[in-house]
Structure 1
Amino acid sequence: MRRYWAILAALVAAGCAEVDKQPEPAAAESAPESTSTAATQPKFKSDTLKYLAKRQIKPQPTRPLNVKSTCSHKDAIGTVTKLDLLVKEGEVKAFSAQVSMKGYGTCRFNLKEFEQVEKLPQALLKHKSETGCSVRMWEQGPKVTVAFNGCPKSCEGDAFSYLWPIMVEAKSGRCF
C-alpha cells in the first residue's frame, strides 16, 4: 500500500512540473501560403464564435433613445400590460407602467417616483425612495426594452418575482 501512495505522489508531482515550450518547426515558417491564410482567417476557440463570425453581426449604434407608446397588451396566460411612454433624445418625458399578473398581483411604476440619472447608452431611472430600484430603457434593433430591476416594493405580494421586461415596437408603439 505504501508503494501505491509513493507512486501516486510521484505522478502528482510530475504533473505539476513545468515544461519548456518547444520552438515551432521550420517547415511552417518557410511556407508563405500557410501564414497568409492564417492571417486572413482568425482562429476561434469555440464553435459559437465561428458561428457568430459568419453572421456578420454589427454592434448596436449608441444614440439617444426616441420612442412614443401608449399601449396595452394581454398575453396568453392573462398578464395585462399598460404602458404610457415618451422618450425624446434620451430624456424620459412620460412614463407610467402597470403590469397585472393573474394570481400574483400588480406592479405599478410612475415617472413621479423616479429621477433620470443617465441618457446614454441607456435611459436609466432610479427610484427616489426605494434603494436599488431602477428602470432601464434601451434599443434592440426595431424594438425598445423597458426593464425593471430591484423594485419589489412597487409591486403587490410576490408579483415582482414574475415581472418581465416590456417590449415596444419603436415605430408603431405597440407593446408585448
Structure 2
Amino acid sequence: MPLKPLRIAAFAFISALTLAACQNTPSTTGTTPTSPEKPPIPKKNTGPVTIQGNCQQRDETDGYRDKISIAVKDNVVSALDWTANPRSGSCRFQLKDFTQVSSSPTADLQSKKDKNCHLYVWQDDHHITVASYSCRKLCRVNDKILPVLLDPQTGNCKAK
C-alpha cells in the first residue's frame, strides 16, 4: 500500500484543524468583539455592620431552625443570643460567653471557654452574615450549623 494517500489524508486533517483553530482567534484589525457585560462582583465587606436584628426561621425540608437576636453598632456587638437547631442537636451562643477580639474588617467574637471557637459578623452587598467557626468543643453539632443571613435594612431573616 503506497504511503502517498496516507500523507495526503494526514495533511488534509492537519490543515482542517489549523483552519478551525484560526476561526476562533481575535481579529488583528484593532477591533475587539463585544461580549456581554459581566455582573458586578459582590463586595466582600461593605463597611462596618450596624444592625438591630431579630430572626426566627425554620427550613421545612430538613427541620433546621435558627433563632437569633443581635445588636451591632459600627462592628461592635452589644447583644447576641443565637440558638441553632440542626436536626441532630442544638447549640446556643450568648454574648456573655464571648469576648470581642476584633472589629475590623469583621466583628470577631472569641469564646471564653474555647479560644479556637469564634463567631463572625460581616456585611456584603446583600446581607449581614453571622457565622460560627471551630466551635466543636462547645457544640457537638457545630459542623452542621449554617450561617444566619440578615437583611441589613430590616434586621429580619433573609433566605439562605
TM-score, length-scaled by structure 1? 0.64
Q: Does 1:87 align with 2:72?
A: yes
What SS does the corresponding residue of 1:120 show, helix, strand or coil? Answer: coil
> Which residue is 2:106 aligned to?
122
Q: Deviations over 1:21-41 (max 9, x none)?
A: xxxxxxxxxx9x74xx69xx9
> Which residue is 1:164 aligned to?
146
TM-score, length-scaled by structure 2? 0.70
Superposed CA RMSD in Å reads 2.4
Count of residues in Structure 1 that have an aligned counterpart in Structure 2: 129
Q: Which runs of 5+ in 2 are unaligned?
A: 1-27
Q: Deviations over 1:46-67 (max 9, x none)?
A: xxxx98x732436455421111
In structure 1, distance between residues paired with 2:69 and 2:42: 31
- Match for 1:133: what amino acid? C
Between structures 1 and 2, the one with greater helix share? 1
Identity of aligned residues (%): 29
**1:100 positional shift:** 1.1
Q: Deviations over 1:40-98 (max 9, x none)?
A: x9xxxxxxxx98x7324364554211111122111121111110100011110101100
In structure 1, distance between residues paired with 2:93 and 2:121: 14
Q: Relative to structure 1, is the Cα distance of residues 167 and 61 closer, same or farther in structure 2, using a 3 angstrom cutoff? A: closer
- Match for 2:97: what amino acid? E
User: Is the contact made by 2:118 and 2:134 (CA closer than 8 Å) also made in structure 1?
Assistant: yes
Q: Which runs of 5+ in 1 are unaligned?
A: 1-30, 42-49
